[in-house]
């Protein structure tokens, strides 16, 4: 009878993974749905106000959200995209459900007078604010002064004594004043 009692208790505990007691590593969950913290689960660690969705320990699993519209809200207005240390950036990849790549549209023509996109650099930044890459190379960018660079040449409009001039800054650090050509 003791064996039966023990077996029933163990079976109940196994089935009741989602109830929210201690997991194998000692993490205590207030509630947890799922089968394995190494794949797809959703839950809340005891004492925390964060809710985890997906793979708690990281790895090769995925999380798919599918709805008519995917709305994410953050009271503090921050939406972070964190990636593994082996990657140099977070990649936002729009595609059809069949996997064909498509453009990403930011903003829409709904009659509202709003700037759709702001790209913010940290004060003191020495690299580009934004760059455009073709393959691994980037010849085009907006640098930390907000100047446009293409083909390695930075175009710099300046005002000198009431006269507008267009300067070209070359990769070797030299400057050329661009003089209009033509009739």
Partner 1 sequence: MRGHWFRRLATVGCVFVLAGGGGVAYAKHARHVDAGWLWYEGTDSGHVGEQSGTNTLVVQAAGDIDLRAYHTRMMSDDGQFVFAHPTSTPTASLNAYFLGSSTRTPIQISQPEPTDSPTLQNPTSLPTALIVAGTAGQRADLEQWTLSGKTVAAIDGKGRLRIGNITLDPVLVNGQVKLYALIGSNKQLIAQGAKR
Binding residues among 49-68 for partner 1 as defined by CB under 8 A? 49-51, 53-55, 58-68
Q: Tell me the closest approach of the beta carbon of residue 165 to partner 1, in angstroms.
A: 10
Closest CB to partner 1 among residues 72, 162: 72
Interacting residue with partner 1 among 28, 46, 48, 168 (CB under 8 A): 168
Residue among 162 and 180 whose Cβ is closer to partner 1: 180
Applying CB under 8 A, the site for partner 1 has a residue count of 121
24 binds partner 1 per the rule CB under 8 A: no
> Which one, of 121, 122, 115, lies nearest residue 141 by Cα?
121
Question: What's the distance, Cα to Cα, between the start and end of the chain in Å?
Answer: 105
Binding-residue pattern over the window 86 to 125 for partner 1, x denoting contact by CB under 8 A: xxxxxxxxxxxxxxx-xxxxxxxxx-x-xxxxxxxxx-xx
Tell me: does residue 81 bind partner 1 (CB under 8 A). Answer: yes
Report if residue 157 touches partner 1, rule: CB under 8 A.
no
Q: Does 82 bind partner 1 (CB under 8 A)?
A: yes
Distance CA 57, CA 25 (A): 11
155: tokens are: 């175009």
| Distant-in-sequence, close-in-space partners of 71: CB < 8 Å, separation ≥ 6 | none
Whether the CB-CB separation of 90 and 82 falls below 8 Å is answered with yes
Tell whether residue 145 is a contact of partner 1 (CB under 8 A).
no
Q: Is 146 in the site for partner 1 (CB under 8 A)?
A: no
Burial letters for 4-38: b for 16+ Cβ neighbours within 10 Å, e otherwise? eeeeeeeeeeeeebeebeebeeeeebeebebeebe
Q: Are 116 and 107 in contact, with CB atoms under 8 Å apart?
A: yes
Furthest-apart CA pair in the chain: how many Å?
Answer: 105
In the list 26, 75, 145, 183, the residue contacting partner 1 (rule: CB under 8 A) is 75
Phi–psi pair at 19, nearest 5 degrees: -75, -30
Binding residue for partner 1, selected from 27, 30, 147, 153, defined by CB under 8 A: 153
Does the footprint of partner 1 cover residue 159 (CB under 8 A)?
no
Contact between 89 and 83 under an 8 Å Cβ cutoff? The reply is: yes
């Amino acid at each position: 009878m003791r064996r039966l009692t023990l077996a029933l208790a163990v079976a109940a505990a196994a089935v009741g993974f989602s109830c929210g007691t201690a997991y194998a590593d000692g993490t205590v969950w207030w509630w947890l749905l799922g089968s394995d913290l190494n794949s797809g689960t959703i839950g809340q660690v005891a004492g925390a106000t964060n809710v985890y969705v997906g793979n708690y320990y990281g790895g090769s699993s995925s999380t798919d959200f599918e709805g008519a519209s995917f709305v994410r809200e953050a009271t503090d207005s921050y939406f972070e995209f964190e990636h593994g240390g082996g990657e140099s950036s977070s990649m936002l990849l729009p595609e059809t459900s069949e996997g064909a790549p498509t453009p990403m549209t930011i903003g829409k023509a709904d009659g509202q007078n709003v700037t759709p996109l702001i790209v913010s650099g940290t004060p003191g930044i020495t690299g580009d604010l934004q760059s455009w890459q073709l393959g691994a190379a980037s010849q085009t960018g907006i640098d930390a002064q907000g100047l446009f660079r293409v083909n390695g040449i930075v175009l710099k409009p300046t005002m000198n004594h009431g006269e507008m001039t267009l300067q070209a800054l070359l990769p070797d650090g030299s400057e050329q004043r661009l003089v209009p050509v033509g009739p």
